[in-house]
Amino acid sequence: MIRRILIFVTILLVLDIYLFSSFRNYFSSNTLKLGFKWFYGLSMLASYSCFAIVILKFDDRPTNATLLMNLWFGYTFAFLVLKLGMFCTALLDDIIRVVEFVGKIIWRVFLSSDTKVDFGERRKFIGQVGLGLASIPFLGMLYGITKGKYNYKIKTVALSFKNLPKAFDGLRIVHVSDIHSGSFDDFDEVAHGVNMIKEQQADLILFTGDLVNNEAEEVVPYKELFGSMKAPLGVFSTLGNHDYGTHKHWNSEEEKRQNLLDLFIHQKEMGFDLLNNRTHTLEKDGQQIDIVGVENWGKPPFPQKGDLNKALEGTNPENFKILLSHDPTHWDEKVIPNSQNIDLTLSGHTHGMQFGVEIPGFKWSPSKYIYKRWAGLYKNKEQYLYVNRGFGFLGFPGRVGIWPEITVITLNKKD
């Protein structure tokens, strides 16, 4: 691992020397040149400091870091993206240099030795424009790591079903997923998001996994806060891949197992009814609907502990069913082919990769190249899947374009 990091840092250092030598020539003003040197130098210092932290293992869980550490790692990632844009510009500049060199030779040999060709000003213009364009995602990421990660958005969805019992017509559900409490660095901002959830006055609150990043203790500072979320018909949850602690090295299997048991206890104390491959039936005015929960089921390397058939044992096949399943791939692989009809499946997991563009009529994120169902509502015949974009964040400590989500789903009976 350390060897790979050192190789990567060496390549990055060569890239930095190349970019620095290229871009300092794009500024005619000494003040701008000096500003660029300081900016790039301090950015390099921040980047390599982060790599030193990883190599020396000052903190083997960067997603559990303080606000300063989150900003540090987030800025480093944003700077790497800036470098990628700068590299494309510098490469184009070098191509123009080659064209210029060849052009001069052609002019001297075939036309006149006194004829001059100079693309210098054009190269400088291209470099400045390229730097400006590369700065756009960089500035977006700076916003993402300072404000965007707590820019909670409420998404409203209304769905109609013929088989929804009349007693549950108008049922109001809040769906939350991927809290990742170990990543938070501002309690007040998280509390603001929780207050937004409570303001929805939902009949039912459903959480679809990844309460923590790895360790159960990550949720302890937020237990009272999350425990304040109440709903008349209950708060139900299921597990995500991170809840099992599979992304951390444990001293023993017993320690890992105890961590999961501690997480079960925390969820119970918060008032979350954890549905691990089981069903809870809600009854109102003599009519019923089923809340089905499975453990995580995803394509390798993610755990495949979810057992839908086990969760459905003893249930009435005619009941309207809502399934909590963390990973949306489970819907295509196991839910749709199942003999029992699952009317609505709620998932999360993808986070929309915390980066993308969502405007009316257009939705894009790199996540779409990994997951067939990555954000929002999907339909197959009379079955629906909703993929929540996540309440928290992981890895990159920010969000750009794909904002943290609180989903409000209203179920209506179709005539």
Q: What is the mean pLDDT of residues 341-362?
A: 95
Element holding 133 (H helix, E strand) = helix 120-146
Q: What is the pLDDT of residue 62?
A: 43
DSSP 335-364: ITTSSS--SEEEE---GGGGB-EEETTEEE
pLDDT digits (tens, 9 = 90+) for 37-66: 777 777 777 777 766 665 555 444 444 445
Q: What is the pLDDT of residue 242?
A: 96
- The candidate with the shortest Cα–Cα distance to 322, out of 388, 386, 226, is 386
Q: What is the pLDDT of residue 127?
A: 65
Query: Which of the 8 DSSP states describes residue 304?
Result: B
pLDDT at residue 80 above 90? no
Q: What is the mean pLDDT of residues 100-120?
A: 61
Q: Is the pTM of this model over 0.85?
A: no
Q: What is the mean pLDDT of residues 270-295?
A: 97
Q: What is the pLDDT of residue 39?
A: 77
Residue 56's Cα: distance from chain center in Å?
Answer: 27
Q: What is the pLDDT of residue 34?
A: 73
pLDDT at residue 143 above 70? yes
Q: What is the pLDDT of residue 368?
A: 94
Q: What is the pLDDT of residue 367?
A: 95
pLDDT band of 176, cuts 50, 70, 90: very high
Place of tokens 């839908």: 308
Place of tokens 């409420």: 154
pLDDT digits (tens, 9 = 90+) for 205-259: 999 999 999 999 999 999 999 999 999 999 999 999 999 999 888 999 999 999 9
**Burial class, 172, CB count within 10 angstroms (exposed 0-12 / middle 13-18 / buried 19+):** middle
**Burial class, 326, CB count within 10 angstroms (exposed 0-12 / middle 13-18 / buried 19+):** buried
pLDDT digits (tens, 9 = 90+) for 388-400: 999 999 988 999 9
pLDDT band of 114, cuts 50, 70, 90: low
pLDDT at residue 112 above 70? no
Q: What is the mean pLDDT of residues 333-358?
A: 96
**Burial class, 78, CB count within 10 angstroms (exposed 0-12 / middle 13-18 / buried 19+):** buried
In the predicted model, what is the mean pLDDT of the chain? 87
- The candidate with the shortest Cα–Cα distance to 232, out of 203, 274, 198, 207, is 203
Q: How many CB atoms lie within 10 A of CB 396?
A: 22
Q: How far is CA 75 from CA 187, 212, 309, 409, in A?
A: 21, 23, 45, 36
Q: What is the mean pLDDT of residues 11-19?
A: 76
